[in-house]
């Protein structure tokens, strides 16, 4: 059998506040999107930038932590795996999506008050720009893809 690997690392900014829900079993699940950009030069030598918006699913305690502390614009580092899903929409059309199921989410930058208006503002921190780190192992949580409520 051929070897395979499904591992994703994303570093970018949240495009919106996380949406936190609970499945019937009581497990927390959060989703948010991360904007990641790529700078390059086109054939004429002009600088260009592509931005991709990638949906991220987080489970368990890490989902609750993300829901409490992450806000729109906050930089994060996400490590996880790609997952594809398909379903039938209300209009009867088959829909497909590709998303990242996070194993860990690291909060980058300084902490900010979620209740404050606007994007996260940097604060003084003795731990450097990557002082806040939070992660969880979804395999230990016993989370399955079928548990996703959306």
Check if the beta carbon of residue 82 is closer than 8 Å to that of residue 109: no
Rounded to two decimals, what is the model's pTM?
Answer: 0.70
Please return the burial class of 106, using the count of CB atoms within 10 Å of its CB with bins 0-12, 13-18 and 19+: middle
* pLDDT of residue 117 exceeding 50: no
Q: Is the residue at 50 inside a domain?
A: yes
pLDDT tens track for 128-137: 444 444 444 4
pLDDT of residue 57: 97
Q: Is the residue at 41 inside a domain?
A: yes
Q: Is the residue at 150 inside a domain?
A: no
Q: Is the residue at 1 inside a domain?
A: no
Q: Is the residue at 65 inside a domain?
A: yes
Beta carbons within 8 Å of 47's beta carbon, 6+ residues apart: 39, 40, 41
CATH code at position 50: 2.40.50.140
Q: Is the residue at 2 inside a domain?
A: no
Cα gap 14→58, rounded to integer Å: 13
pLDDT of residue 131: 40
pLDDT of residue 65: 95
Check if the beta carbon of residue 33 is closer than 8 Å to that of residue 16: yes
Q: Is the residue at 3 inside a domain?
A: no
- The whole domain housing 103 covers 8-143
pLDDT tens track for 13-45: 999 999 999 999 999 999 999 999 999 999 999
98 token code pair: 């590709």
Give the pLDDT band of residue 112 (cuts 50, 70, 90): low
Please return the burial class of 76, using the count of CB atoms within 10 Å of its CB with bins 0-12, 13-18 and 19+: buried
Q: Give how many domains the chain has, as a whole number.
A: 1
pLDDT of residue 75: 96
pLDDT of residue 145: 52
Give the pLDDT band of residue 141 (cuts 50, 70, 90): low
Q: Is the residue at 57 inside a domain?
A: yes
53 token code pair: 């918006």
């Amino acid at each position: 059998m051929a070897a395979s690997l499904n591992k994703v690392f994303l570093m970018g900014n949240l495009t919106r506040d996380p949406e936190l829900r609970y499945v019937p079993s009581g497990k927390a699940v959060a989703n948010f999107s991360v904007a990641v950009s790529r700078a390059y030069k086109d054939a004429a030598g002009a600088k260009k930038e592509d931005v991709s918006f990638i949906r991220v699913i987080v489970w368990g305690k890490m989902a609750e932590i993300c829901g409490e502390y992450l806000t729109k614009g906050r930089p994060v580092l996400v490590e996880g795996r790609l997952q594809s899903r398909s379903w039938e929409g209300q209009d009867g059309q088959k829909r497909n999506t590709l998303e990242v199921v996070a194993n860990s989410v690291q909060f980058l930058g300084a902490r900010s008050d979620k209740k404050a208006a606007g994007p996260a503002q940097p604060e003084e921190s003795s731990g450097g720009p990557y002082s806040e780190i939070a992660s969880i192992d979804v395999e230990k949580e016993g989370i399955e893809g079928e548990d996703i409520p959306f």
